[in-house]
Homo-oligomer: A and B are copies of this chain.
Amino acid sequence: MTNIKKVSELAGVSTATVSRTLKMPDMVTARTREKVMQAVREAGYRPSWLATSVKTGRTNTIVVLVPNLVNPFFMRIIGGIEQAAQERGFTVLLCDTQGDSKRESDYASMVLTNRADGLIQLDHSFPFSDDDAKLAETIPMVSVCERIHAEKKYPVVSLDNYAASRSLAHHLVSYGHRKFAVIVGQVVSQIHKDRLSGLRSVLAEEEIVFDENMIVGESYSIENGIEGMRQLLEKTQRPTAVICFNDDIAIGAMHEIHRQGLKIPDDISVVGFDNVKVSAFLNPPLTTIDQPAYEMGRRGMELLSDLINTVPLTRSSEMLPFQLLERKSSGPAPV
């Protein structure tokens, strides 16, 4: 391994001069700079990131906890994080937690072991134990999407799920729908509560009765969409409008509707959340809520960077705007 000592000998200077040449070139004469750079090239020298980090106490790395890397929605967020990270000289360490809480604390503790400077949480389960809660207070941390605990000790960048849900409900009500159903994802979460109460508020205003049995589902997956739709279609009173809590669920729901020989949107309207790429190219294209995922990621990274550099934060939580994309999977209620 070529280290700084070897280079310093090659150039006939001290290690300090080599270090300075590379980190603050203005501090050395043009002549020595030449000599050193020549030696660096000759030896093919690259400073050890490890050694630099151990000395400076900064890794310029941040950890992102992702519940599911396969979900393209999270990937859009991560795209935003990476962009902002790159601009600020941070490297992103992606950690797929698979919803496994042990993995989550393992990865989260990387910040404690000097492996990363901060943490972005896309899930909503960490911190789940008291130990973790203590941990969360001592490390720079930002949540993008939501967090479950009421007393937020760290900044949160999220969507206005309540308003987004109302927007979808209004859209469907305006098409004359009165028989609603919902296929939900993970139940224990703020997202879940906000979206449900958004829907309920619109239905109450419109004086539409909502059958609580029309809430089914338990995870953000295609399979859950299929199973949820199957359950809904078994009911005596078939719904005419189904709100899916993400696009994967909607894809599954649409698949099951087609399988049973029904038509979208003629028989049933289906809407989703997230606007993943493929949703625009389904048959029919899916009506959904476009979340500003990229922007959320960007903003989350900006906040985290400020936290790490102990820049005082102006606001601790932010809500970004959404957009209702009306496509062909929703239409007039059947007569």
Chain A interface residues toward B at CB < 8 A = 46-51, 53-54, 59, 69-70, 72, 75-76, 78-79, 82, 91-94, 96, 109-110, 112-115, 222, 226, 251-252, 254-255, 258, 277-278, 281-283
- Residues on the B chain within 8 Å of A254, using CB: 281, 283
- Residues on the B chain within 8 Å of A115, using CB: 49-50
A78 contacts which of B46, B69, B110, B278 (Cβ < 8 Å)?
Answer: B69
Q: Tell whether, in the assembled complex, residue B51 and residue A114 are in contact, meaning their CB atoms are under 8 Å apart.
A: yes
**CB-based nearest B residue for A70:** B75
With A49-B115, A70-B76, A82-B96 already in contact, 5 other A-B pairs whose C-beta atoms are closer than 8 Å: A48-B113, A78-B96, A79-B96, A251-B281, A254-B283
Q: Tell whether, in the assembled complex, residue B50 and residue A114 are in contact, meaning their CB atoms are under 8 Å apart.
A: yes
Q: Tell whether, in the assembled complex, residue B72 and residue A110 are in contact, meaning their CB atoms are under 8 Å apart.
A: no
- Residues on the B chain within 8 Å of A109, using CB: 46
A258 contacts which of B79, B94, B258, B283 (Cβ < 8 Å)?
Answer: B283
A48 contacts which of B79, B114, B283 (Cβ < 8 Å)?
Answer: B114
Q: Tell whether, in the assembled complex, residue B47 and residue A113 are in contact, meaning their CB atoms are under 8 Å apart.
A: yes
**CB-based nearest B residue for A92:** B94
**CB-based nearest B residue for A73:** B70
Smallest CB–CB gap between A291 and chain B, Å?
A: 15
Q: Tell whether, in the assembled complex, residue B110 and residue A49 are in contact, meaning their CB atoms are under 8 Å apart.
A: yes
**CB-based nearest B residue for A264:** B283
A54 contacts which of B54, B75, B222, B281 (Cβ < 8 Å)?
Answer: B54
- Residues on the B chain within 8 Å of A222, using CB: 277-278, 281
Q: Tell whether, in the assembled complex, residue B59 and residue A277 are in contact, meaning their CB atoms are under 8 Å apart.
A: no
- Residues on the B chain within 8 Å of A252, using CB: 281
Alpha-carbon distance A282/B76, docked complex (angstroms)? 22
Q: Please judge, given known A-B contacts A93-B93, A278-B222, A282-B282, whether A114 and B54 are in contact too, CB under 8 Å.
A: no
A69 contacts which of B75, B91, B283 (Cβ < 8 Å)?
Answer: B75
Alpha-carbon distance A73/B51, docked complex (angstroms)? 36
Alpha-carbon distance A177/B76, docked complex (angstroms)? 40
- Residues on the B chain within 8 Å of A72, using CB: 70, 72
Smallest CB–CB gap between A194 and chain B, Å?
A: 27
Smallest CB–CB gap between A67 and chain B, Å?
A: 13
Q: Tell whether, in the assembled complex, residue B94 and residue A46 are in contact, meaning their CB atoms are under 8 Å apart.
A: no
Can you give 11 A-B contacts (C-beta < 8 A)?
A47-B113, A49-B113, A50-B59, A51-B54, A51-B114, A69-B69, A70-B75, A82-B96, A91-B93, A93-B93, A283-B283
Smallest CB–CB gap between A221 and chain B, Å?
A: 9
- Residues on the B chain within 8 Å of A49, using CB: 110, 113-115
- Residues on the B chain within 8 Å of A277, using CB: 70, 222
Smallest CB–CB gap between A85 and chain B, Å?
A: 11
Alpha-carbon distance A110/B70, docked complex (angstroms)? 25
Alpha-carbon distance A78/B98, docked complex (angstroms)? 13
Smallest CB–CB gap between A330 and chain B, Å?
A: 16
Alpha-carbon distance A70/B276, docked complex (angstroms)? 10
